[in-house]
């Protein structure tokens, strides 16, 4: 049986630190841009850093836009990280007019945090808002590492599985079924981040 976790390489993202984190957990992870390998993988990770529009442009240039949609539709566990979460939505205020993947309905909006710096960079605690296979068995209000200026605002608030307080409620994680995503960087979030990645590694639907 194929147990490979495919980490999608589309020219953006902190790919090799994610791969190393999974290796520490004893997972077989592979960084790849091969559509066949991604589609055949047991689980798939969609990383992302930088701007929403650049990520969507690169995904299209690598011929992977429909591959991600196919993976999500066929029930393969899919983990979005940082901008990899944001591009799951319909679009973003960062790049108006650039369509996202549309897997989740809603928009990505700029952080409104009066008196606080944007981008939001640093450690913040999570408040778990709903059932999430990624966040099970975590300690109460664990700290994770964020670097972002935008956050997802789903049409359905029940998609939000965790939030953090940064001048107000900020979406920290979303998910439904096989598609789960985090705004923070689990690969940079110490033991808590490793536990989240371990939960994804063990995810059975």
Return the active site residues: 82, 185, 187
Contact indicator for 179, 103 with CB cutoff of 8 Å: yes
Q: Using CB atoms within 10 A of its CB, is residue 117 exposed (0-12), middle (13-18) or buried (19+)? A: exposed
Q: Which residue has the tokens 């390998």?
A: 37
For residues 140 and 26, give the distance between their C-alpha atoms in angstroms, rounded to a whole number: 26
- Count other Cβ atoms within 10 Å, centred on residue 121: 11
Q: Where are the alpha helices (DSSP H) in the chain?
A: 15-24, 35-40, 52-61, 65-73, 83-86, 190-201
């Amino acid at each position: 049986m194929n147990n490979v976790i495919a980490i999608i390489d589309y020219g953006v993202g902190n790919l090799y630190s994610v791969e190393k984190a999974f290796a520490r957990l004893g997972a077989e992870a592979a960084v790849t841009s091969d559509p066949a390998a991604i589609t055949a993988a047991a689980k798939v990770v969609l990383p992302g850093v930088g701007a929403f529009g650049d990520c969507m442009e690169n995904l299209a240039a690598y011929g992977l836009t429909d591959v991600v949609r196919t993976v999500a539709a066929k029930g393969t566990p899919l983990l979005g990280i940082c901008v990899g979460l944001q591009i799951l939505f319909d679009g973003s205020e960062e790049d108006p007019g650039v369509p996202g993947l549309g897997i989740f309905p809603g928009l990505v909006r700029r952080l409104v945090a009066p008196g606080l710096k944007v981008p939001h960079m640093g450690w913040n605690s999570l408040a778990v808002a709903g059932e999430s296979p990624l966040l099970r068995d975590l300690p109460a209000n664990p700290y994770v590492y964020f670097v972002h200026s935008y956050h997802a605002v789903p049409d359905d608030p029940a998609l939000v599985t965790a939030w953090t307080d940064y001048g107000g409620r900020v979406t920290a994680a979303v998910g439904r079924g096989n598609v789960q995503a985090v705004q923070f960087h689990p690969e940079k979030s110490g033991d808590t981040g490793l536990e989240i990645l371990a939960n994804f590694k063990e995810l059975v639907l």
